[in-house]
Structure 1
Amino acid sequence: MMTDTLVGILAIGAMFFFMILRTPVGLAMLIVGFFGTWILSGYRSAGALLISETYSATSNYALTVMPLFILMGNLSSAAGFSRRLYEAAFAWVGWLRGGLASASVIGCAAFAAVSGSSVATAVTIGRVALPEMKRFGYSDSLSTGAIAAGGTLGFLIPPSTGFVIYAILTEESIGRLFMAGILPGLLLTGLFLSTIAIIVTLKPGQGPKGSLPDSANRLTALLRAAPLLAVIVISIGGIYLGVFTPVEAAGVGAVLVAGMAFAGRLITLREFGETLMQTVRTAAMLYLIIIGANVLNPFLALTHIPSTLGESLMGAGLGPYGALALVVVAYLFLGMFMDGLAMLVVTVPIVFPLLTGMGFDPIWLGVIIVILIEMGMITPPVGLNVFVVKSVAADVPIMSIFKGVFPFWIAMLICLILLVAFPSIVLLLPNSMFG
């Protein structure tokens, strides 16, 4: 007779098999969680779990932050506000050696603050920036690498979809996680810019200098980007000051962007309808993932896999940082094969109780996990963001893009080491906000 743990191991293997067959991540987790619970606890328990978890996930008020922030990002892209962010960065730093790549990273960081999605960030800025870098003679590896790496900032800089899902899975505060992502996001942006500076210093031909625009053009570009920058400051600043909850901030941001788009006649009613449908499709996919995770997690608890792993690590005498190092290696390995959201929802129920039980702060741990998942987004052979950039730059060989992202992957590793060495970088804002 099979033990509960063996059933769990076989079920996890089946889930990976479903994912290889391109079954949607949420559906794969839902199938495995439901039938696994049926095997261990009977049909009535599995049915009750499916009904209760589906209802609790879809009726969770905190989750409405996701579709609202997705809508804000989609409207910003459809109305051309994202292009203005890039143009402002281009006007101020584009004249430097490697400046267009730097402008792309800055544009990604700014757009990340309204989109919450790494894929949307990479596609949106990539469509604007890649043709410009090609026109100015930038190397394919630097231009595509900067976009692929910069796009990952959408998963770290709030409002991050990754933080929302992590908060739901762990019952942590979305507001605290959003605040925790700000300084690491700025740190990683700075490391990306430093990486570009080092590359073009060593190989000047990869990022030629441009001409310096006059002060009037730079000011005009900044003013054109100012409305969306103001929305970012209002929504994220409102959360920090306690004026808004994250859900209210998302609603305020979406209404302000929609109002600016219609007031400036930058979007038609038909385009608005298409944007709403695009938002619904993305939100539905994310809700399915959360429902699947909520059905899978109780099943994993029944299998005793998380507790068994925790006991094994504790018994191995590695200590907290030894266990953390093992988890980091595991994430880097999984990142070579798994989609970021899939990795998040599958691993957090196992990793979270293990590491928080060893004394690590749950908010800090959320940021570390999100950065590890970001690294997976540009790690071969899957590297989702690399293939997203490939879809925009069809003429660039995939190996050139992977070659281009490698220095940025090293920058992410340095960021990770700094956050482990100095946890206060993560915890300063959430602790000052909530005391």
Structure 2
Amino acid sequence: MSLGAIGVSGIVALLVLLLIRIPVAFAMFLVGFLGLWIVDGWNTATGLLASETFTLASMPELVVIPLFILMGNVASATGMSRQLYDAAYAMIGHVRGGLASATIIGCGGFAALSGSSVASALTMGKVSLQEMERFDYDPRLSTGSVAAGGTLGILIPPSTGFVIYAILTEQSIGRLFMAGILPGLLLLAMFVLTVLLICTLRPAYGPRGPRTTWHEKRRALVGALPILALVVVTIGGIYRGFFSPEEAAGVGAGLAVLYGVATRRLTLAELRDAVRDSVVTTATVMLILIAAHLLNPFLALTHVTESVGNLLAALDLNVLGTLLFILAVYLVLGCFLEGFAMLVLTLPIFFPVVLELGIDPIWFGVLVVLTLEMGLISPPVGINVFIVKSVAAAVPLGQIFRGVLPFWLAMILALAVLIAFPQISLFLPNTMFD
């Protein structure tokens, strides 16, 4: 069997393993390790496993993952997410669809702490779905807004998706974080406009909530100041050059813990649970990265990456056409594969082509992460939809998928805007203090 045939067989085997729900890390490890063994021998496979594991474990850049995850977990335990939702609720809850819009804003704010789409959807679902049910919101709008709002967690920094992209492509984590801010705010605004449009066309979907007094608004905004201060210190510190991303993660996690202790909202048991969840999530990400660093050499040795590059060249597309083709592949794969799996599987293949075409790697990272977001609410996988289903057990899965469709279309529009105007993504990275 030729090297090319072995490489294609490995990719097919990987896709089959992922489709039958084998964990991403184990599937990639199995294909990568066995593929290297077949192509270049046992010594190469075991040598790479040992060296790559040590190299990744000693990378200081990866410390941002457990620390930012810890910051989000502690913020959730201390009620910061609830305070942010209450502030948005107090300001716009009285308009049609206001509770759904407040949920999306709350998801965006919590995303700036957790960096996790799943955590954002789960936390804000617990906070807001019961409230929207109390005011007779249509289940399609309420669940759709939570599932879509949760996707902001992978775009608004600190984003685990950006960290993985940075490690795999050797790009700056800080620049990628900055690149995600304006696109994240753009997408959040489009989600809110989507809610307003739905409630204008179908007023019964989002009845008006209670009107609050100025005193209640002011009190709610004061309650949200800790979470806003935490975001300003960490993300603003990276932008101004006061902190590296690793230092900002440590400062953010430390401040979140200090806030919980000072306000007596964080018990020792809750801190222990937050640390344990952070360790588990970090271990999962590390396993995926180790497996990716076994899979990538296998793809290179079997010339799969070179063959895909030649195929794209043979299509004779211009730069924009090639970019659209790559993003279309991500959109299709997002219907079946988990986001991190797509990154580690496709970046070794597509990224050399992107660099050869002169496409800015930071801008490309934003576009890729946005397409990964779309996979979070695309059937049949749509992990955020299943997360919301776990909170809203009485709502049929089909209704939730119908509820996210308008937001999915809003994401397509946002993607088109970011392709047409790259400076939306590149403005902050190009002006930040390194």
TM-score by length of 1: 0.98
Structural RMSD (CA): 0.9
Amino acid at match of 1:416: L
- Mapped contact 2:56–2:290 kept (Cα < 8 A): yes
Aligned to 2:121: 122
Q: Give distance in 2, aligned partners of 1:244 and 1:18.
A: 41
Q: Give distance in 1, aligned partners of 2:212 and 2:229.
A: 24
Indicate whether 1:303 and 2:270 are aligned: no
Q: Give distance in 1, aligned partners of 2:134 and 2:73.
A: 27
Q: Give distance in 2, aligned partners of 1:180 and 1:132.
A: 34
- Mapped contact 1:57–1:294 kept (Cα < 8 A): no
- Mapped contact 2:240–2:433 kept (Cα < 8 A): no
Amino acid at match of 1:384: I
Tell me the SS of whatever aligns to 1:265. Answer: coil
Q: Cα offset for 1:434? A: 5.0
TM-score by length of 2: 0.99
Aligned to 2:329: 330
Q: Cα offset for 1:21? A: 3.4
Q: Cα offset for 1:224? A: 0.9
Aligned to 1:287: 286
- Mapped contact 2:19–2:337 kept (Cα < 8 A): no
Indicate whether 1:265 and 2:269 are aligned: no
Q: Cα offset for 1:218? A: 0.7
Q: Cα offset for 1:270? A: 1.4
Amino acid at match of 2:423: S
Identical amino acids, percent of aligned pairs: 55
1:359-378 equivalences in 2 (<5 Å): 359-378=358-377
Moved more, 405-414 or 352-361: 352-361
- Mapped contact 2:334–2:376 kept (Cα < 8 A): yes
Q: Give distance in 2, aligned partners of 1:211 and 1:258.
A: 34
Alpha-carbon displacement from aligned partner over 1:294-314 (angstroms, at most 9, x marks no partner): 111111111111111111211
Alpha-carbon displacement from aligned partner over 1:179-213 (angstroms, at most 9, x marks no partner): 00000000000000110010000000000112220
Q: Give distance in 2, aligned partners of 1:395 and 1:5.
A: 49
Aligned to 1:414: 413
Q: Give distance in 2, aligned partners of 1:382 and 1:245.
A: 35
Q: Cα offset for 1:321? A: 1.3
Amino acid at match of 2:25: G
Aligned to 1:88: 87
Tell me the SS of whatever aligns to 2:285. Answer: helix
Alpha-carbon displacement from aligned partner over 1:148-182 (angstroms, at most 9, x marks no partner): 00000000000000000000000000000000000
Tell me the SS of whatever aligns to 2:345. Answer: helix
Alpha-carbon displacement from aligned partner over 1:89-140 (angstroms, at most 9, x marks no partner): 1111111110000000000000000000000000000100000000001000
Amino acid at match of 2:138: S
Aligned to 1:170: 169
Q: Give distance in 2, aligned partners of 1:147 and 1:334.
A: 23
Aligned to 2:398: 399
Q: Give distance in 1, aligned partners of 2:252 and 2:213.
A: 32
Q: Cα offset for 1:22? A: 2.5
Moved more, 240-249 or 332-341: 332-341
Aligned to 1:384: 383
Tell me the SS of whatever aligns to 1:209. Answer: coil
- Mapped contact 2:19–2:336 kept (Cα < 8 A): no
Amino acid at match of 1:70: I
Q: Give distance in 2, aligned partners of 1:83 and 1:348.
A: 37
Aligned to 1:213: 212
Amino acid at match of 2:209: G
Indicate whether 1:99 and 2:98 are aligned: yes
Aligned to 2:182: 183
Q: Give distance in 1, aligned partners of 2:395 and 2:72.
A: 27
Aligned to 1:76: 75
For structure 1, the residue ranges without an aligned partner over 5 or more in a row are none
